[in-house]
């Protein structure tokens, strides 16, 4: 997946100096005020967490799955448990990040900012000015759950710590195993069986299977209506140039040794494009793969009557098919995973995205907080397993329950818990992934799931990708860019990545010639600043990791 600059980044950086000008004169006053306040929290680990009721002002974006945060069942339960009441400031999800910029500029921001999509660059800039409080001392003094998490999951600690060693936000953590190797390919097993073919293991075998799908009438209707392979505009690894590029070169920015590199200007990238162009020229790749969205993609996978789709790249089969295992008409369960393919030079590799941090800056305490210790204790406790279950899923017996004897978890071991069927769940019961939460691999794998269910299939499919995670080629780890780097990146990153996307499609479908236009493509990338782009990443990497 090619990295995309967040659209609001440039706005954030334009406003940064205004923000600092508006807030800086009061920074010391706010810090002094906070330092003079007597702690009112109870002993670590005790509930309620305060000696007397306290109200926190919390800014969040709306969540379409949460009817009302104020009356939400988890809110009410957690207020009673902690003794902390919440005064919610909920802003519409659309445009929330831009609204946050204006709120920060005004200086009239709340005690806590939660789930607002703050970037590492923003954390660093506002943290260094004291607008966002450093949490290091609070973790040392009050942290129970967060301290255990950071000790047990070094990757999480590394991902939220600035090069200067500061932590300005608590994350949302979800150690999703199938997400770590989510660039997958799925193939329609009934067609393989009908034609007597095995699951392909090399790029050559994959080409031959797609050719057979096109020419040998695997759906048996006597028509040449089969679509061997289709992707879509990338949502979660649905581009045809992802999984099928990895046998030639790692398909995203990567680290080898301690050197950052991009694949898009390498000879191996051209070789991969030649392979994909041949497939397209031979009618093996659907022409809409570069323009269609999820709705059209799914129409191909669930074509009424005969099956017409043979293979599709996607993180999950649900993007292109119905995966309901209780339905006789659902075609999704008949798609099986294709493990990473071996390329012509022997490379067989899986794109690896190992971070367990789903939202790095889930919870921030500002310098307007009258009781930052209370705010921290309130967030820290949310990493407890029971509280995470309640905040993400719902109440015990209503959203989830303890597993019954004989139920098996994702990992093949006895399950520890299971979901309540959706039709029996109560409304407005949880925050549905708003707020700090901790779902470890053990937590997720202990969930009872029916055999053949989507989650079980993804777990088992990912096991087939795990052996092909490279020991020498690594994904780029979380980085903290400086303000100056972020300003420069905002002007070049999207330009480069959009151009790569555009030209990749053109080279594959033949609107651009790999023989005649490749050198011009390379020259254009240079003129757009691809060398400077890599240099900025390298500098940020060196600052944090070398």
197 shares a domain with 158: no
Task: Note the pLDDT of residue 36.
Answer: 54
20 shares a domain with 127: yes
Domain count, the chain: 3
Closest to 23 measured CA to CA, from 104, 102, 101: 104
Query: How would you class 471 by CB atoms within 10 Å of its CB: exposed for 0-12, middle for 13-18, buried for 19 or more?
Result: exposed
pLDDT tens track, the chain, 546 positions: 334 433 334 334 434 433 443 444 444 444 444 455 567 899 999 999 999 999 999 999 999 999 999 999 999 999 999 999 999 999 998 888 899 989 998 999 999 999 999 988 899 999 999 999 999 999 999 999 999 999 999 999 999 999 999 999 999 999 999 999 999 999 999 999 999 999 999 999 999 999 999 999 999 999 999 999 999 987 789 999 999 999 999 999 999 999 999 999 999 999 999 999 999 999 999 999 999 998 999 999 999 989 999 999 999 999 999 888 777 778 989 999 999 999 999 999 999 998 889 999 999 999 999 999 999 999 999 999 999 999 999 999 999 999 999 999 988 899 999 998 877 667 899 999 999 999 999 999 999 988 888 888 999 999 999 999 999 999 999 899 988 998 899 889 999 999 999 999 999 999 999 999 999 999 999 999 999 999 999 999 999 998
3-state secondary structure of 301: helix
297 shares a domain with 376: no
Contacts of residue 383, defined as CB under 8 A and 6 or more positions apart, other chains included, come to 145, 146, 148, 149, 173, 436, 437, 438
Domain boundary pick from 271, 305, 338: 338
15 shares a domain with 121: yes
CA distance 199 to 210: 11
Question: How many other C-beta atoms lie within 10 A of the C-beta of residue 85?
Answer: 12
18 shares a domain with 156: yes
Task: Note the pLDDT of residue 31.
Answer: 42
Helices 120-128 and 9-23 cross at an angle (nearest 10°) of 10
Does residue 447 sit within a domain?
A: no
Whose tokens are 């119905």? That residue is 322
Q: Which two tokens mark 362?
A: 């889930």
Does residue 243 sit within a domain?
A: yes
CATH number, residue 112: 3.40.190.10
Q: What share of the chain is helix, strand, coil (3-state, %, to 5)?
A: 45, 15, 40
C-beta separation of 183 from 235 below 8 A: no
318 shares a domain with 214: yes
Return the CA Rg of the chain: 25
Contacts of residue 128, defined as CB under 8 A and 6 or more positions apart, other chains included, come to 164
Does residue 2 sit within a domain?
A: no
3-state secondary structure of 296: helix
3-state secondary structure of 459: helix
Whose tokens are 């990146």? That residue is 489
209 shares a domain with 148: no
CA 373 to chain centre: 30
pTM (predicted TM-score): 0.87
Closest to 149 measured CA to CA, from 127, 175, 124: 175
331 shares a domain with 374: no
Task: Note the pLDDT of residue 443.
Answer: 93
Domain that holds residue 508: 483-545
């Amino acid at each position: 997946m090619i990295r995309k600059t967040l659209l609001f980044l440039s706005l954030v950086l334009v406003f940064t100096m205004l923000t600092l000008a508006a807030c800086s004169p009061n920074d010391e006053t706010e810090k002094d005020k906070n330092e003079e306040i007597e702690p009112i929290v109870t002993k670590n680990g005790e509930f309620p967490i305060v000696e007397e009721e306290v109200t926190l002002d919390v800014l969040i974006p709306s969540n379409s799955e949460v009817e009302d945060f104020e009356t939400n069942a988890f809110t009410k339960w957690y207020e009673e448990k902690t003794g902390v009441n919440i005064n919610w400031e909920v802003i519409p999800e659309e445009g929330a990040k831009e609204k946050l910029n204006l709120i920060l500029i005004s200086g009239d921001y709340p005690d806590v900012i939660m789930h607002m999509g703050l970037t590492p660059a923003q954390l660093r800039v506002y943290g260094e000015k004291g607008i966002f409080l450093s949490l290091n001392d609070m973790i040392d003094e009050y942290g129970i759950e967060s301290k255990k998490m950071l000790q047990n999951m070094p990757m999480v600690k590394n991902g939220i710590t600035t090069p200067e060693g500061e932590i300005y936000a608590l994350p949302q953590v979800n150690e999703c195993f199938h997400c770590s190797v989510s660039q997958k390919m799925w193939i329609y097993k009934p067609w393989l069986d009908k034609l007597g073919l095995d699951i392909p293991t090399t790029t050559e075998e994959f080409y031959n299977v797609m050719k057979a799908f096109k020419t040998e009438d695997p759906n048996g209707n006597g028509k040449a209506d089969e679509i061997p392979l289709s992707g879509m505009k990338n949502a979660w690894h649905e581009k045809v140039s992802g999984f099928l590029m990895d046998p030639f070169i790692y398909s995203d920015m990567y680290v080898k040794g301690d050197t950052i590199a991009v694949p898009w200007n390498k000879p191996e990238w051209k070789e991969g494009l030649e392979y994909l162009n041949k497939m397209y020229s031979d009618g093996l790749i659907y022409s809409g793969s570069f323009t269609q969205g999820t709705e059209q993609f799914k129409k191909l996978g669930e074509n009424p009557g005969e099956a017409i789709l043979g293979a599709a790249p996607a993180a999950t089969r649900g993007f292109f098919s119905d995966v309901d295992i209780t339905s006789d008409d659902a075609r999704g369960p008949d798609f099986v995973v294709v493990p990473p393919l071996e390329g012509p030079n022997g490379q067989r590799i899986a794109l690896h995205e190992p971070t367990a941090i789903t939202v790095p800056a889930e919870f921030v305490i500002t310098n307007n907080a009258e009781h930052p210790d209370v705010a921290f204790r309130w967030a820290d406790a949310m990493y407890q397993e029971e509280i995470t279950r309640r905040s993400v899923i719902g109440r015990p017996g209503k959203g989830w329950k303890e597993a019954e004897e004989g139920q098996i978890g994702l990992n093949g071991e006895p399950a520890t818990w299971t979901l309540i069927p959706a039709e029996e769940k109560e409304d407005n019961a949880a925050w549905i992934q708003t707020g700090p939460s901790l779902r470890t691999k053990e937590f997720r794998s202990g969930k009872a799931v029916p055999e053949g269910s989507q989650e079980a299939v993804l777990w088992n499919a990912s096991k087939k990708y795990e052996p092909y995670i490279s020991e020498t080629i690594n994904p780029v780890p979380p980085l903290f860019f400086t303000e100056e780097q972020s300003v420069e990146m905002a002007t070049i990153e999207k330009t480069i990545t959009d151009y790569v996307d555009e030209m990749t499609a053109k080279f594959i479908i033949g609107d651009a010639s790999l023989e005649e236009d490749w050198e011009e493509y390379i020259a254009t990338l240079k003129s757009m600043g691809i060398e400077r782009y890599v240099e900025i990443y390298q500098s940020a990497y060196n600052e944090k990791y070398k």
